[in-house]
Amino acid sequence: MQLRFGIRTKLLLSILAILLLSYSTLLYSTMKTLSDASRTEIEKSLEANLKYARAVFQDRTEIVRYSLLQPLNSGNVQKHIAARERAWCADRIKRWQGVLPFLELMVLVDPQKNVIAGRLDTRNPVKELAAIADQAMARKKVVVSTEIVPASLVEGSRAFRPLQGELLMVTMAVPVIDRQGNILGCMLTGDVLNDDGSMAEAMRKVFGRDVEIAVTQRAQKISTSFAGDLSTAPPLTGAILEILERGEQFHGEVELAGQRYETVIDPLLNSRGELVGSISVSVSTGRYNKMRNTNLANILVSASLGIIASVLLALVASRHLTGPMRQLARGVARIQEGDLSQRVEERYHDEVGLLAGSFNKMAGALQERDRIITLKTQDLQELNEQLEKKVTERTRALTMEMGRLEAVLTSMAEGVVVTDADNRVILFNPAAQQMFELVPYRVVGQTMEHVCDIGGFTPLAGRIEEVRETGASGLKEEIVVKGKRLTVHLSSLLDEAGAFAGAVLSIRDVTVEQEVDRMKTDFISTVSHELKTPLTSMKGSLQLLLNRGKWLTDTERQLLTVCFNNTERLIRLIGEILDISGIESGGMAFNFNPVRIGEATAYAVEEIRSYAMGHGITIVNTVGDHLPMVLGDRDRLIQVITNLLSNAVKFSPEGKVVMVSAEHEGNYVTLSVSDRGKVIKWVDREKLFKKFQQIETANRQKVSGTGLGLAICKEIVERHHGRIFYTAAKEFGNTFSFTVPIIEEEHAKGNDTHC
């Protein structure tokens, strides 16, 4: 039995359904907005608190840097250090420790890393800090890193809680350099982070119980802004450590003291790029959840009250509406029976009254129906006559348009060939006749395979068949026929149903253009050779003036420095032009031998590491020695890796990590360099491997270059029978990769003895 509802019931059900849908949508959108707002606030709080925690370490480091640089650059201090006056140096270190009481380690060593003065036994060298001391003295600049050291290194300074006999220490190495640039020694300082009460107390006062700031040594907490026993704190999981070891931040949710906290963990790397610890910031989500629940309760209460009030109003409105509708239904029934004189009362001044007036007008309009149909038939005949006239005019216009198109095709310098669905030629312009050396009557109506055979264009037959099978467009083919170098563009024609209807071939003779391009390349190479010698002489002269010209004023020295820098830039530009010209012309020799890709990568990373540290970038090399040997020119492969690393450092934000990785794929080894810079736009990706092309960036004034680096990399990789390509990340990051073919194991072993 089918249920039948009246207007009143339908109206009530409709209003109730609309209210339920509206309030459900409102509830969902409000909860989503609140959740998104809470998430945004939590992320902002995490970012701000992490910056503050980082600032605590950086402020101490800057205090130590500026407190020690000035006295160590003093001539009097350097004189006593050069003389190895241990008693005087020990007294001076004692004074400096009074100024910097938070330092647990302050040791002065000579260039051989023997202790001159400090809190250590002067008979033993500082073995644990030898690496950072070597870096500082080699670079002649201050080096700061976070290191894990034995607890015995600072024994007796104050009580610490070491982990397995080790401590996490912010270490600074300050080289002592005299006015002649000679290394007199190195000052080593250390600030232990284990159980740092002053830092924990300061952060506890700032953030309270809603935020925890913690420092870990490897996976275990060693300092926190929460009061409690650190030995019971759970260590970081393996999944978190795996993310931190890649130099990336971890974002997630953890439970602290029975509450849920959103957490961000930032890795701490030592001077060798290894993970030694982390800084974590945790924000409580309880306050945000409470606010969300309160808003949800308020919405549910207001929704219930609104539904009740709306149902009551709908009952009153439906009673007022259904009476006139019943009267109108009776009038429609009488019209159906043939009583066209039937009328209804128009006593309402609302939509129902308008409907009654429309009903009365409809009854009178039925009498005019036959007359209107006759008039419309006459109008339709007139429209048909006008349509025939327009079709005739349009046909004449199309004929004229076809004549213009034929004139354009006839006058074109490029050859144009058009085929139908059966691959038979239907159009063959004069330029194509000259290139194929065929007359139209021997071509039109013939299959394209037959035309290619008699015209000497056999290589095109396979590409045309590919277009027929796949329906592809935009294919390009370069062929040499009868001494001419031709560029052929192939596109498919589709009918209204999207099926293959033919193909279009555009043929262009580029013989003269390529000859002009070759002459231009030879001219640039010749000019570059002629310019390189005088520029080298100018560089040497400017360098001599800058090194020995003590009489120069600041302005003159600045101008000479600008000249020297621009001369170096021109020499680099000329060198790159000569490299790419030599590769293109085949004049550059490649010495192919078995190469270990891991060794080549390590050499390139060490070569670029100081440049990366100057930009605040950390390079992480994950290329191992397990990869098979490749066949290539070792120096040229190092040049490719160095160019890719240099580009990654240039376009990476300060403080980010550049990853170098490699993997064995089939007969090739694929090496990739990944950065965390802004993703390259689609419109710029076609220019990546072209000569003299540079990508527009927001800080273009800070990035200099010739636009030849990637072009040189492409030529070198292709000479190794590999390929180079670009891959973009979803949000941030770019990856440049290239492949190099491997060699057979027996061949590699046989040649390895000669390497």
From the first residue on, what is the mean pLDDT of each consecutive set of 10 residues in the chain (755 residues)? 60 77 79 78 79 76 85 87 88 86 85 79 61 88 87 69 82 90 89 68 62 82 71 76 85 73 86 84 74 76 78 72 71 72 67 72 71 80 86 84 73 77 77 71 74 70 72 70 74 76 77 66 62 70 74 78 74 67 66 91 90 89 90 90 89 90 92 89 77 59 60 87 85 87 62 41
CATH code given to domain 593-752: 3.30.565.10
> Does domain 412-509 match CATH 3.30.70.141?
no
Spatial distance between the Cα atoms of 223 and 216, rounded to a whole number of angstroms: 7
Closest CA to 457 of 413, 417, 503, 502: 417
Q: Buried (b) or exposed (e) across 159-195, using 16+ Cβ within 10 A?
A: ebebbeebbbbbbbbbbbbeeeeeebbbbbbbbbbbb
**Residue 463: CB partners within 8 Å, gap ≥ 6?**
475, 477, 488, 490
| pLDDT of 594 | 93
Spatial distance between the Cα atoms of 24 and 546, rounded to a whole number of angstroms: 77
CATH architecture assigned to 73-192: 2-Layer Sandwich (3.30)
Question: CB atoms < 10 A from the CB of 743, how many?
Answer: 20
Provide the whole-model pTM: 0.39
Contact 8, 318 (CB under 8 A): yes
CATH code given to domain 195-284: 3.30.450.20
| pLDDT of 664 | 92
| pLDDT of 674 | 92
How many residues belong to the chain?
755
Sign of the Cα torsion 288, 291, 297, 300 reads negative
Residue 375 in tokens:
């008039």
Write the DSSP symbol of residue 163: B
Closest CA to 312 of 16, 63, 515: 16
Contact 60, 102 (CB under 8 A): yes
Residue 220 in tokens:
């275990």
Q: Could you check whether 195-284 and 593-752 share the same CATH topology?
A: no
Contact 178, 82 (CB under 8 A): yes
What's CA 559's distance to the chain center, in Å? 38
Residue extents of the structural domains in the chain: 73-192, 195-284, 412-509, 514-585, 593-752
Spatial distance between the Cα atoms of 287 and 130, rounded to a whole number of angstroms: 49
| pLDDT of 645 | 92
